Amino acid sequence: MPTASKSASFVHWTKLRFPQGPSELQPVTPEQPFGQKEYNAVMLSAALVAASAAVIVFVDTPRQIWPGTGVNIQFTTPRKGEMELLAKGGFKYTRSVLPWAETETAPGKYDFSKFEGLLRDLKTKGIRQIFCLSGSNPAYQAGAPTMPEARAAFARWAGQAALQFKGEEIVWEVWNEPNAEQSWKPIPSPTDYSSLAVETAKAMRFMDPTCRIIAPAGAGVDTQFLNSSLTEELLSLVDGISIHPNRIGGPESLVGELQAIRDLIARRAPAGRKELPIICTGWGYSTARGKNTEGRQAMYVTRMWLLNSALNIPITVYDSWQDNGPNPDNPADRLGLVRENLDLKPSFIAVKEVIEKFRGCTNFRWLPQKDPLDWVIVGAGSSKLVQARWYQKEAGVKFSDLSMKEKRFKTLYASLTGGQTVAIPRPVATVTIPNKPIARSLDGLDFAFAPPIDEDGWCVLVQKSTTETAKLEFKYQRSNGANVTCYAKIDGPRIVEPIATTEESPMVSVGVSGSVSESYKLQKTSFDPTRWEVKREGKLTGELLAGQRGVLLNYDGGGKALVVPKSRSAIPEGARALVVWVRPDGSSNRLKSEYRDSAGEVISVDLGSMEGPTDRNGWRVLKIPLGGKGVEWVSLLAVESERERSGSIEIGPGAYMF
């Protein structure tokens, strides 16, 4: 590890790219080493040049991020037995903030000694560190460093940190949750953050071209912030995109959000960087009163690890290692996998178990099932194949070792580990129509039927997780007895097609080549504004009005506005889903829905943000899975606004699917 007396030489720098024209700077090696103070002065001055707008560091491909599971920690000096406990849990990373003001106590005076001991302790257990470079420094600017002088000072400090810990296999993260007001004061700005991250990454790469840098560690999956901050230049400098995808319900809703981030990277990143890894550096579930039981926390963190592994997220960092305070009602005090005194919580045991179950597995795959609530994930490696399976609305995860003696599992193993490429046989549906057996299944497709909203009648939403083009047939019978077949070619991940019926409660069958694979009974419903009202949480205000097609919700401010029934509103028995038209306002605010199931538990469904394209004339189809277990509505729809902004959404006609 570098020390204050260690000298160094200019042997690391390779070349720079100039936007105005090609040019190279050759490495400069002094004939004689000189003092550390003089060396730092020259290097830091050069780093400022490299961080200027006229130059960007030439990095063709990102440096590989070491995979592993980690936890956020608050300590620099571990307690007795703490390092052993971290190693026992199977953790390969810890993450903590490297605070600017604490390590640059006066302009140009750097002291990282407090963190050198932590790295020594971690190294004895084979644990790497993620340092999050964050925090204001009043010596330069109150709040986030947005002024040029403060931004340059932050970059100099970050460059010095990279040099100080060169060779320590650290992953560096630029800032913590810059889209949150409590972190980036006074007001989050994706443009200001991007400027800071770019300048910082250039300075760090000048001081240590081998360093690994990730950004921006945003709170939630804030696609609007990512779209504005992840410029082509920033994507050319970092080795991964870090997120904190916290949510109220289970982790399964991350799948669609993650694809939106990958699409953004693929569109904007320069050649060689289209597949930058997405890294989870903070995701937790609190066991504070009114949040999650310890059993539910354990279940969620297990699913989180499995889902992230299957979605090619190389690092999953839990938030947090231990409970951080004595208040059982404060969510931040009850995020830990262990208690304040290091006693184990069920979540620690759950994480340890899932890591051990899949030890040696280096390749994972999610195998979509016919029922979208049925999750199957397999891991392969070290000559073993392990499966985890769970049902999204039920407790527990079932693990099983799959025998490599069976041909189908041997084929799957080869496919996962890059061996012989063999098509994996898909399971065949066993549903039977009287006198006519099923010929094919529709695995990889998810259906939702929305009632008429225009003259074209009912519409079908098809979401596709496979790459093959699907040619589907939709069959139904009109009230006059006529049998009708509509055809649709599904060649995109999300297609909404009219199926040309206006019946109130049709029965629609879906199939391929004349064979029926699925049948759905549909029941149209609508939402009368006199039977629903607005419940408010936080500073948000709202009102419910009669809309053009249904219920209009106007809201203003930060917090949550929930559309709740004035009296108990039952869900029809056996309903598999409610499909509803919503006219979104295009904001990054999230939509959710809540219902009570037959066990009396409140189930929260994350429906994503209101950004992005709509499906039909400004309306979007939303599917709320009920799994046949819904009993009554708690909130039909809820808007969560993290920032104080106003908007308006309309809830149009809906339909239950059976």
Mean pLDDT is lowest, of 156-170, 308-322, 465-479, 493-507, for 465-479
Tens of pLDDT, residue by residue over 459-469, are 888 887 766 67
Give the tens place of pLDDT for each residue, 57-99.
445 689 999 999 999 999 999 999 999 999 999 999 999 999 9
Pick the residue with more confidence: 505 or 429? Answer: 505
The answer, yes or no, to whether residue 548 has pLDDT greater than 80, is no
Strand ranges inside 526-598, DSSP E = 532-538, 541-546, 551-556, 559-565, 577-583, 590-597
- Spatial contact of 474 and 462, defined as CB atoms under 8 Å apart: no
pLDDT at 15: 32
| pLDDT value of position 537 | 80
pLDDT tens digits, one per residue of 480-512: 777 888 877 777 788 888 887 888 888 888 887
d(CA 412, CA 379): 10
Q: Which two tokens stand for residue 302?
A: 């297990």
| Residue range 579-583: mean pLDDT, rounded | 92
Tell me what pLDDT residue 611 has.
86
Contact 386, 358 (CB under 8 A): yes
Nearest to 129 by CA among 114, 118, 144, 113: 118
CA 80 – CA 85 distance, rounded (Å): 10
Name the more confident of 83 and 260: 83
pLDDT, residue 240, reads: 98
Average pLDDT, the chain: 84
* Strand-strand pairing, 590-597 and 602-609: antiparallel
Across the range 127-137, mean pLDDT stands at 97
**Of 189, 194, 170, 169, whose CA–CA distance to 179 is shortest?**
189
pLDDT band at 33 (very low <50, low <70, confident <90, very high): very low
- The closest of 568, 564, 523, 560 to 540, measured between CA atoms, is 560
Convert the pLDDT of each residue in 175-228 to its tens digit: 999 999 999 999 999 999 999 999 999 999 999 999 999 999 999 999 889 999
Q: Above 50 in pLDDT, residue 11?
A: no
User: What's 436's DSSP letter?
Assistant: B
CB 377 within 8 A of CB 361: no
- Is residue 18 predicted with pLDDT exceeding 50? no
pTM (2 decimals)? 0.61
Both tokens of 65, joined, read 């991020």
Residue 587 backbone dihedrals phi, psi, to 5 degrees? -80, 170
Q: With b meaning 16 or more CB within 10 Å and e meaning fewer, what string describes 369-400?
A: ebebbebbbbbbbeebbbbbbbebbeeebeee
The answer to whether the CB of 634 falls within 8 A of the CB of 425 is no
Assess whether pLDDT exceeds 70 at residue 25: no
pLDDT band of residue 157 (cuts 50, 70, 90) is very high
pLDDT over 70 at 14, yes or no:
no
- pLDDT at res. 516: 63
Stated length of the chain:
658
What number is the average pLDDT over the span 295-310? 96
Say if residue 252's pLDDT is above 50: yes
How far does Cα 495 stand from its chain's mean position? 23
Q: Which two tokens stand for residue 454?
A: 């225009």
Q: How confident is the model at residue 560 (pLDDT cuts 50, 70, 90)?
A: confident
* Band of residue 322 on the pLDDT scale cut at 50, 70, 90: very high
Average pLDDT over residues 369-374: 86
The whole-number average pLDDT for the span 533-556 is 79
How many angstroms separate the first and last alpha carbons of the chain? Answer: 64
Return the axis-axis angle of helices 148-164 and 190-207, rounded to nearest 10°: 40
